[in-house]
Amino acid sequence: MLCYNEELILDEQAGFRMGRSCTDQRFTLQCILDQCRERSLTLYSTLVDLEKAFDRVDRAVIAAIMRSYGYDETYINIAIDLHSGTSARVKWKRQKSEPFSTSWGVQQGGPASNPLWNLFMDVIARQTLAELGPDVGVELFYKRDSKNLRGFPSAPADADRAHLVHLLLADDVIAFALTVEHLTEYLNKFEAICRRWGMTVSTSKTKIIVFRGDAAAPSLQNSLVGESQQLAAPSLPEILIGGSPIEVVSASKYLGCWYSSDCLVDKKLTVRIGAATGAAHRLLNFWKCKAIGLKTKLIYYKSLVLTILLHGAESWPLTQNDVERLERRGLGSCVCSGWVMS
């Protein structure tokens, strides 16, 4: 099913797919933010949270969706059998409840359920795109004549641009718009279609963040002289979903990394350095132990501290100051009594 799905579902979905991961979505988002900063553009974005998404899938529609995508009846019957006669228990303080039957939902992260979830989410995504105006989203331009891409087959004439409305990773959704009106249109259409399929958008966890490319320059200047500037969330017309307002924030987490409205990486670095500092301090006695060799300490440092510090670093657009800030944390936690602070 995973192989067959590759030919069916939208490219915007990176969850439960071969050769794709959080890194791809974070990289795409960072590329968009880099362009906003370079061109001093304002990008309106929303991070949509689906309430108990995997638990709300209506199993009765799974077979219909699979048939609409051209699946063989053999696979459809297997999917139906795997989700028939299921039960669950609630575990609380080492105690388990009596089993009770379940007739809704698919198992989150289950190998047999992942392709089904992607099909279900693909239906919602396609119906949302079909009901949106052509101007909702952003246009991405790219070139394939770079020397780094030699050897690839030549691209068609229209392959130098792509229209992107949202990015998906399993049930994580982030959408883009160039105006408040387009963002409101997306949220209203997406919420209505989710409701049609039994999904519920959590208005308390859904956030709006306005990426301001024109705010990056003054923030960068302040960081160069050692000052810090906290951007306030901009004032926007109230956007409602089901009568409930959506909060506008100046920074938010997406796929484990923080993104701030100034399009810079300062927030990311602060969070990663703080998390790595905490991990290093928890191993303070280990670093101080003279019976443990430096080689062993380096192994632990790379696996328990460095991985935390550099989580998501594949897509960071670092300046020289950012690199020096990371390097100042160095290997001091391994060989000294504490973490090297700047």
Contacts of 245 (CB under 8 A, 6+ apart): 203, 238, 239
CA 297, 299, 304, 309 dihedral sign is positive
Read off the pLDDT of residues 170-188 as tens digits, 9 standing for 90 and up: 999 999 999 999 999 999 9
User: Looking at the predicted structure, is the pLDDT value of residue 217 above 50?
Assistant: no
Q: 98: exposed, middle or buried (C-beta count within 10 Å: 0-12, 13-18, 19+)?
A: exposed
CA distances from 166 to 119, 139, 174, 177 (A): 17, 12, 5, 9
Band of the pLDDT at 233, cuts 50, 70, 90?
low
Band of the pLDDT at 146, cuts 50, 70, 90?
low
* Residue 39 confidence (pLDDT): 87
pTM of the model: 0.83
For the segment 70-93, the average pLDDT, to the nearest whole number, is: 90
Give the span between the Cα atoms of 63 and 76, in whole angstroms. Answer: 6
DSSP bridge partners of 212 = 42
* Residue 208 confidence (pLDDT): 95
Band of the pLDDT at 340, cuts 50, 70, 90?
very low
* Residue 144 confidence (pLDDT): 62
CA 35, 37, 39, 44 dihedral sign is positive
Share of the chain above pLDDT 90, in %: 46
* Residue 294 confidence (pLDDT): 84
Read off the pLDDT of residues 159-168 as tens digits, 9 standing for 90 and up: 577 899 999 9
Band of the pLDDT at 140, cuts 50, 70, 90?
confident
Read off the pLDDT of residues 312-333 as tens digits, 9 standing for 90 and up: 999 898 888 888 888 876 555 5
User: Mean pLDDT of all residues in the chain?
Assistant: 84
Give the span between the Cα atoms of 93 and 139, in whole angstroms. Answer: 51
For the segment 43-66, the average pLDDT, to the nearest whole number, is: 93
In the chain, the DSSP E strands lie at 42-48, 86-88, 91-92, 95-96, 100-102, 138-141, 161-164, 166-169, 172-177, 207-212, 240-241, 244-245, 247-249, 251-254, 257-260
Count of residues making up the chain? 342
Q: What is the domain partition of the chain in residue ranges? A: 2-262, 270-335
Band of the pLDDT at 122, cuts 50, 70, 90?
very high
User: Looking at the predicted structure, is the pLDDT value of residue 63 above 80?
Assistant: yes
Contacts of 191 (CB under 8 A, 6+ apart): 201, 241, 242
Give the span between the Cα atoms of 309 and 287, in whole angstroms. Answer: 17
DSSP bridge partners of 11 = none
CB 24 within 8 Å of CB 194? no
Give the span between the Cα atoms of 16 and 132, in whole angstroms. Answer: 26
